[in-house]
Structure 1
Amino acid sequence: MSRSAYLIFKPASEQRETEQELMEIRAMLEPEFNLSVYSTTPEVSAGQLAHQAVENGAEVVIAAGGDGTVSAAAEALINTDIPFGVIPRGTANAFATYLDIPSDLKAACQVILAGNTRLVDTALCNGKPMVLLAGIGFEAKTVEQADKEAKNRFGAFAYILAGIKQFWQGVKPFETNVETESQTATIQQATAITVANSAPPTSVLAHGTTGVYVDDGLLDVTITSPQSRLEGAIALYHLLKSGFNDRAVELDNVHHLRAKHIKITTEPPQPVVLDGNLKGTTPVEIECIPNSLNVLVPNNQI
Structure 2
Amino acid sequence: MTPAPLPRAAALIVNAHSRSGRDLFVEAKAKLEAAGMTLTEAHAVEDPNALAETVRRAVANGAPMVIVGGGDGTLSGTIDELIGQHCVFAVLPLGTANSFARTLELPLDLDGAIAVIAGGRRRRVDLGMIDGDYFVNGASIGLPALIGQTVPHALKRYLGRVGYLLWALRCSIRFRAFRLMIDDGIVERRMWSTEVRILNGCYHGGVELSDTANLESGEIVIQAVVGRSRARLAADWYAKFFRLRDRQAHTREFRGCTFRIETTPRMKISIDGEVLAKTPVVAKIAAQAVEIAVPRGAASV
Shorter-chain TM range is 0.7 to 0.9
The answer to whether the Cα contact below 8 Å between 1:68 and 1:276 also exists between their aligned partners in 2 is yes
Partner of 1:96: 101
Which residue of the partner structure matches residue 172 of structure 1? 176
Rounded to whole Å, the distance in 2 between the matches of 1:133 and 1:122 is 9
Write the deviation string for residues 235-286 of structure 1: whole angstroms up to 9, x where unpaired: 3344446x677x88244xx221111111111111111100111113212212
Query: After superposition, what is the alpha-carbon deviation per residue over 1:87-141, rounded to whole angstroms, capped at 9, x for unaligned?
Result: 1111221111222222222221111000412221102212222101110112211
Given that 2:194 and 2:229 are in contact with CA atoms closer than 8 Å, whether structure 1 keeps it comes out as: no
Distance (Å, rounded) in 2 between the aligned partners of 1:66 and 1:43: 11
Residue 92 of structure 2, aligned match among 87, 94, 99: 87
TM-score, normalised via structure 2 length? 0.86
2:68·2:75 contact (CA, 8 Å) conserved in 1?
yes
Identify which range, 288-297 or 278-287, moves more after superposition: 278-287
- Tell me the amino acid that sits aligned with residue 25 of structure 1: A
Whether the 8 Å CA contact 1:222–1:257 is kept in 2: the answer is: yes
2:198 aligned with 1:195: yes
- Greater Cα offset, 105-114 or 143-152: 143-152
CA distance in 2, matches of 1:10, 1:267: 36
CA contact (8 A) 2:17 2:46 kept: no
Q: Deviations over 1:159-203 (max 9, x none)?
A: 122223333x1531211221114322122x221111000132765
Instruction: Please tell me whether the aligned partners of residues 181 and 260 of structure 1 are also in contact (alpha carbons under 8 angstroms).
Output: no
Give the direction of change, closer, same or farther, for the CA distance of 1:230–1:172 in structure 2 (3 Å limit): closer
- The residue number in structure 2 matching 1:77 is 82
Match of 1:300 in 2: 297
RMSD over equivalenced CA pairs, Å? 2.7
- In structure 2, the partner of 1:213 is 214
What percentage of aligned pairs have identical amino acids?
Answer: 25
Distance in 2 (alpha carbons) for counterparts of 1:263 and 1:206: 21
DSSP-derived class of the 1:8 partner:
strand
User: Structure 2 residue aligned with 1:182, among 186, 195, 199?
Assistant: 186
Cross-structure match for 2:68: 63
Q: 1:263 aligns with which of 244, 260, 263?
A: 260
Gaps of 5+ in 1: none
Q: Find the counterpart in structure 2 of residue 49 from structure 1.
A: 54
CA spacing shift, 1:293–1:134, aligned 2, 3 Å = same
SS of the equivalent of 1:52 reads helix
CA distance in 2, matches of 1:10, 1:144: 19
Task: Report the CA distance shift for 1:105/1:294 in structure 2 as closer, same or farther (over 3 A).
Answer: same
- 1:249 paired to 2:220: no
TM-score by length of 1: 0.86
Correspondence for 1:111: 116
Correspondence for 1:236: 237
Amino acid at match of 1:194: R
- The verdict on how the C-alpha distance between 1:282 and 1:205 changes in structure 2, with shifts beyond 3 A counting, is farther
Q: 2:27 — aligned with what?
A: 24
Encode CA deviations 1:51-105: one digit per residue, 9 max, x unaligned.
Answer: 2222211111110111111112211122444221101111221111222222222
SS across alignment from 1:71 = helix
Mapped to 2, the partners of 1:124 and 1:250 lie a distance apart of 27
Report the Cα offset of residue 7 of structure 1.
1.1
Q: What is the letter of the counterpart of residue 127 of structure 1? A: G
Contact 1:80-1:292 at 8 Å conserved across structures: no
| Structure 2 gap segments, 5+ residues each | 1-6
- For 2:65, the aligned partner's letter is V
